[in-house]
Amino acid sequence: MRRHPSQARAQRTFGTVLDAAVGLIEREGVERATTRRIALAAGVSIGAVYEYFPNKESIVLHLGTQWLRRIREIVEGLHPARSAIADLLGYLDRMLREVETLYRNQPGVLAVVRLIGAIPELRDAEQAHDAAVVASVTSAMRHFAPDADAAEVRSAASCMVIMGHGVLSECLVTQAGDAARLLRNLRLSMYAIATAILLPVVER
C-alpha cells in the first residue's frame, strides 16, 4: 500500500475500493479486474485507487495478508494459554470450525489462493503465516501433551496445517468434491494424528 487511510471519509473510500475489487474479482476473475475497472465499480476516480494502491496486485496482496492475519488471530486466540479449552481434541475441533467459517465467508478468497504463487510478496507472507500457525499449534499440542516427543508434535502440527489448508481450499474455495465428507474426513484425520500424540503419554 502507498498509504493507510486516517480520516473517516478516506476510510470509507478505501473500504469501497476493496469491496469493489472483491466483487469484480469474484464475478469476472483477476485478469479482468484492472485498476481502472475497480475504480469504475467503486464509483471513484482512478486517482483515488492509486492513492492507496499502485496496481491490482497490491490490492490482492492487501486482501491476502488481511485474510492470513485473521486466520492467525483465530489460531492464536484459541491457544490453551489464552482460552478455556480443556483438551486437545476440543481445541482442534474449535479451531477447525472457526477457520472453516472464515474460509466460507471470506470474500475474494479464491482469487487470493490462486494468486499466492504468482505474487512473491504474498507467497512470502503465506510462508511466514504458515510458520507462525505451525508454531502456535505445536505449542498448544505441547500444552496438552507435555511429555510427547517434540519432533513428533511439530511434525503432527505441520501435517494438520497442510491438510487443513488443502482440504478447506478444495471444498470451500474451489467448491470441488463433497464438502461435507471432505470436512468430516479432515476432522477424523486430525483426531487420529492427535490421538497418536496423546497415546504414548497415556500409556506411561
At residue 108, the pLDDT reads 64
- Which three cell numbers, joined as nine digits, stand for 197? 500424540
Q: For 60-203, CATH number?
A: 1.10.357
- The pTM assigned to this predicted structure is 0.81
User: Do 65 and 122 meet the contact criterion of CB atoms below 8 Å apart?
Assistant: yes
> Residues with Cβ < 8 Å from 93, sequence gap 6 or more?
187
At residue 75, the pLDDT reads 95
**Which phi-psi region, left, alpha or beta, contains residue 107 (left: φ > 0; alpha: ψ -120 to 50)?**
beta
Number of C-beta neighbours around residue 75 at 10 A: 21
Tell me which amino acid residue 58 is: S
Query: Which class does domain 8-50 fall in?
Result: mainly alpha
At residue 79, the pLDDT reads 96
At residue 63, the pLDDT reads 82
User: Do 125 and 65 meet the contact criterion of CB atoms below 8 Å apart?
Assistant: yes
Greatest Cα pair distance in the chain: 68
| Domain range summary for the chain, segments of one domain joined by + | 8-50, 60-203
At residue 204, the pLDDT reads 44
At residue 203, the pLDDT reads 47
Helix, strand, coil percentages (3-state) for the chain, rounded to 5, are 75, 0, 25
> Residues with Cβ < 8 Å from 55, sequence gap 6 or more?
35
Mean pLDDT of successive 10-residue stretches along the chain, which has 204 residues: 72 87 80 88 91 86 84 94 92 93 74 68 85 96 93 96 88 73 93 88 47
